Amino acid sequence: MQRVNLSAVSEFVFVGLSDVPEIRLLLFVLFLLIYLATMTGNITLLIAISTDSHLHSPMYFFLGNLSLLDLLCPTITVPKMLGALLLEHKEISFSGCLFQHFSLIAVVGTEIFLLAVMAYDRYVAVCHPLRYPSIVSMKLCAQLALGTWATGLLNSLLHTSLVFTLSFCGPNRIQQYYCDFPPMLALSCSSTHSTELVILVVAGVLGSGACVVTVVSYICILLEILARKSPGIWHKAFSTCGSHLSVVCLFYGTTICTYVRPSSTYSPQWDRVVSMLYGMLTPLLNPIIYSLRNKDVKCALKRVISQVRRAL
C-alpha cells in the first residue's frame, strides 16, 4: 500500500531548554554571543578567501565551502531557539518543521562529503606534490564541490520524505530545540521500523563511504610520511593536514554520538547537549582552528582586519 501522510498535527512545540526566566535570559545571551561569533568568524574567513589572491587555491576553495556550511548550520536552528528563549514562542508549523529538517540534514550531509573531498585534496598535496596542480584542477574542484552539495540535498530529500510521510496524530512536543529526525520518529503514531531501516542503510552507505575516503586518505598520508624519512616531514605534513584532521575529529565525534544509533537509545537531555556541540560549537571552532594552524589564513585575516579598520 502507498503510505499517505495522515497527520492530524498542524504544528509542533519545542521543549524549552529551561522554564526559569533568569536561566532563559542567561542562555539567550550566551547563545546569541556564540551565534554572532560564529557568523563573524566564518564571514571574515569567506571574505579573506575570496579577496586574497594567496588563498585562491583548491584547499581554500573547499575551506570556503566549509565556512558557508558553518554559516548555514546554526542559522537554520539558532534564531528559532533564541526566539523560544526570549519570547517563549516555541511553536513551529508542520511545513516550517519540514523545511528546517530538510535544510539541516542537507547541510550536515554535505559537510560529511565535503570533509572527505578535503581529505583527498590533502592526500594529493602530501603524496603527489609535483602533480598536485594537474590532478586537483579548479575544474575538478568545482565538480567535487557541486557533487557534495547535490549528494547532500538528495540524501536530505530522502530522509525528509521518509520522516514526514509518517502519521503524526498524537503528542506534538518535540524533545529538542529544532526539528531533528530522532525526536520526530519518537512522536509518530505509525510504525517507524521500515523508515529507520531505510534511513540507517542509506546514511550508513553514504556516511561510511565518505568516512572510508577520509580514513584511507590519511592512512596513505601516514604511509607516505613513514616511507620518506626526511627531516622535518612530520612538521610539514602536520601543518598541511593538522587543521583538517582536527575538524574531522570534532565533526565526526559529535555527529556519530547523535545519529549513529537506534531510536530506542534516544535520550532527549543527552541529545540536546550533543546537538549543540556539532550545531553551534563546531561551526564556531572551525574558522578558529584553521586560523590558528595556518599561516596563510592568519596573514589574510590580518589584512582583512586592517582593511576594515582603515574603512572605519
Q: Say yes or no to pLDDT of 265 above 60.
A: no
Residue 176's pLDDT is 79
User: In terms of DSSP bridges, do strands 173-174 and 11-14 run parallel, antiparallel, or are they unpaired?
Assistant: parallel
Half-sphere exposure of 38 (CA within 13 A, CB side): 28
Site of grid cell 589572491: 53
% residues pLDDT > 90 (the chain): 20
Q: How confident is the model at residue 1 (pLDDT cuts 50, 70, 90)?
A: very low
pLDDT in tens, 115-147: 999 999 988 988 888 899 899 998 999 999 999
User: 14-261+268-311: which CATH topology?
Assistant: Rhopdopsin 7-helix transmembrane proteins (1.20.1070)
pLDDT in tens, 175-230: 778 888 778 888 888 777 888 888 888 877 888 888 899 889 888 888 888 787 76
Q: What are phi and psi of 243, to 5 degrees?
A: -65, -45
What is the strand order of the sheet 173-174 is part of? 91-93, 11-14, 173-174
Going from N- to C-terminal start, the domains of the chain cover: 14-261+268-311
Rounded CA gap, 284 and 300, in Å? 19
